[in-house]
Copies of this chain bind each other. A is one copy, B any other.
Amino acid sequence: MGESGLNLEPIGVIHSCFKEKFGIPRQPGLVEHSTATIELFPPFNREEMVRGLEGFSHIQVLFLFHRAVAEGWRPTVRPPRLGGRARVGVFACRSPHRPNHIGLSAVRLGAVRTTGGVCLDVSGVDFLDETPVLDIKPYVPYSDSIQDASDGFTGTEDVGGGEGGMIFFSAQAAAFCRNYEEKKSRPLHLLITEMLERDPRPRSQRERKTEFGMLLWDVNIRWRMEEGSVVVERIESVV
């Protein structure tokens, strides 16, 4: 406990495919092939501290919205799911700009690696790279998965562009993906496809712009909109 309140110590850090805010899914579980690795710090990275965790399919990750801390919090927010028009209270949405800036995501647990520390591979993530981790808990279905829960914004679930457009890869982009997947064992083509199916463009940009870029892992992806379809034009490594 600190003098002026409660002190938190990050137990680890997230290495995520999302290097920037642009395009990050608004909730976990939406982009299946979005992946991250949670690296625990000493003294929290002993094998025994995660013993038994590998039996769970999902975990709850509590983290800090580190990029929002300096910006403080706002009493009301315009959630993207409501089209950015209606205002709701900060406690009625999952905005990063909230008191205490704590985030919560339930994600799928992959490998639990305990050689020389502890790393957890997770997927279906909505984490920004370098996010500090505050806690890891098992996702316990009988209390965490509420079958009859209802949602105040029902009917407005943001399932993406939904315009039924196709996604095309240029020859360069397709070749880059094949090469990258071989070298790094990351399903880049699938991840890009899932991201673009959800239309990651902010609403404010949809009218004005036709060319877009996003960073995933260590690659930069350029695409353009063309008659309702998406053309992935060029993919390049970022040094």
Contacts and interface: CB of A to CB of B under 8 A. Distances in A.
A24 B98 CA distance: 30
Contact of A58 (B76, B102, B149): B149
Contacts of A225: none
B62 A48 contact: no
A194 to B, nearest CB: 15
Interface string A1-30: 110111111110000000000000001111
A85 interface: no
A121 interface: no
Given A8-B7, A56-B152, A143-B27, A138 B100 contact: no
Contacts of A4: 2, 7
Contacts of A92: 50-53, 55-56, 138
Nearest to A94: B137
A190 interface: no
A144 B126 CA distance: 13
Contact of A8 (B53, B100, B144): B100
A1 B88 CA distance: 26
B145 A146 contact: yes
In the A-B complex, the 4 residue pairs with the closest CB atoms? A55-B152, A52-B88, A27-B143, A52-B92
Contacts of A98: 135
Given A149-B57, A151-B142, A93 B52 contact: yes
A134 interface: yes
Given A52-B89, A102-B102, 7 more contacts: A2-B5, A9-B100, A27-B142, A29-B142, A49-B89, A57-B149, A92-B138
A233 interface: no
Given A52-B89, A76-B51, A152 B138 contact: yes
Contact of A134 (B2, B56, B100, B147): B100
A145 B7 CA distance: 30
Contacts of A136: 91
A143 B106 contact: yes
A150 interface: yes
A102 B134 contact: yes
